[in-house]
Amino acid sequence: MPAFKPVYLVHGDDHGRVAERRSRLRVLAEAESGAAGVEVLAGDAATPEGAAAALNAMTFATGRRFIVVDGAERWKDAEVEAALVPTMAAMPPDTTIAFFASEEGRLQAPQSLVRAVEAAGGSVTAERLRKARDLPRWAVDEAARMGVRLDGAAAQALIAQVGDRQQRLLRELEKLALEHGSGSTIDVDVVESAAALSAERQVWALADAVAARDRQAALAAYGSLRQQGEDPARLAPVVSRRLRELATIAERIEAGVSPAEIKRGARMSPYAADRRIREAQGADLGALRLAVERFAELEVATRGGSELAPDTLVTRALLAVT
């Protein structure tokens, strides 16, 4: 069995990797100490005070004790300093506590927690998303490690279809490698015909329904995505970005710019540009502009800018623009 450190902090904006590390730790912890030896703090219980109380609590469990704390990105430095740092300075024996922070925007793991973990002899790991311009090369390299050749155009096509979440890209690359076998070449045609888009297809379907002002389809797509566990705070910017792309193309078409010129200047694969142009040609520009405004407001609201529940905010936005 692996040797466990007393403290771990895994943080970053690559939420898939953060979740993967959390799941792996739980599996290892349960293998080491059984389910009874693992305590999970999430939601309202996941506070600096709650973590300190868990560390100080008496336990009759035998073997190593594990405490998994989610949501540290919401914590403030002052809260950590007051409630948690003193406890972590004298970690109880045979105990491992792991903090996880899915960072985004202003939601960041507090530096006081980073310092406390390091002072306690723990491990701090940052899981960062790659920049958009680096993703195609990264996808090509990952495909090579899986034994298949992914050409540059296919990498861009895959990112355009699946999105820029590295964990989802990895899953799609794994599926392609398994389906086509070692030594095969994955080109644009293969990506278009074989890449499983699952929830990402429905994200685009949601954006398409909003652009087409199809209320029933938009509400159905959103409901399906929520059933799959998609976060409204992630969906809002994805749909917003798609709507902005369409609105920009529609505005250029209205200004007399030819589709060929729009395609040449588009920062996306040629087939994706053709699809966006067709969608923009069939859209109502005024409705698109309204949708862009409402979803920009929704991005802020779903990240703590409103006291209303995220589902209520999204539903209201969909009703307003369809």
73-87: pLDDT as tens digits: 999 999 999 999 999
150-187: pLDDT as tens digits: 988 888 888 877 777 777 788 788 888 887 888 889 98
Q: Give the count of beta carbons closer than 10 Å to the beta carbon of residue 190.
A: 20
26-52: pLDDT as tens digits: 888 888 888 888 999 988 899 999 999
Burial environment of residue 213 by CB neighbours within 10 A (0 to 12, 13 to 18, 19 or more): middle
Provide the pLDDT for residue 225.
Answer: 82
Q: Give Cβ neighbours of residue 306 (< 8 Å, ≥ 6 apart).
A: 313
Provide the pLDDT for residue 88.
Answer: 94
Q: What percent of the chain has pLDDT over 90?
A: 25
> Is the model's pLDDT at 199 over the cut of 70?
no
Provide the pLDDT for residue 196.
Answer: 42
**Domains of the chain (ranges, CATH numbers):** 7-126 (3.40.50.300), 132-194 (1.10.8.60), 198-321 (1.20.272.10)
H-helix or E-strand spanning residue 41: strand 38-41
Strand-by-strand arrangement of the 95-102 sheet? 38-41, 65-70, 95-102, 7-12, 123-126
DSSP per-residue string spanning 276-299: HHHHHHTS-HHHHHHHHHHHHHHH
Provide the pLDDT for residue 169.
Answer: 84
87-136: pLDDT as tens digits: 999 898 899 999 999 988 889 999 999 999 999 999 999 988 777 788 89
Residue 10 banded pLDDT, cuts 50, 70, 90 = very high
275-320: pLDDT as tens digits: 788 888 888 888 888 888 888 888 888 887 777 888 888 899 899 8
> Is the model's pLDDT at 266 over the cut of 80?
no
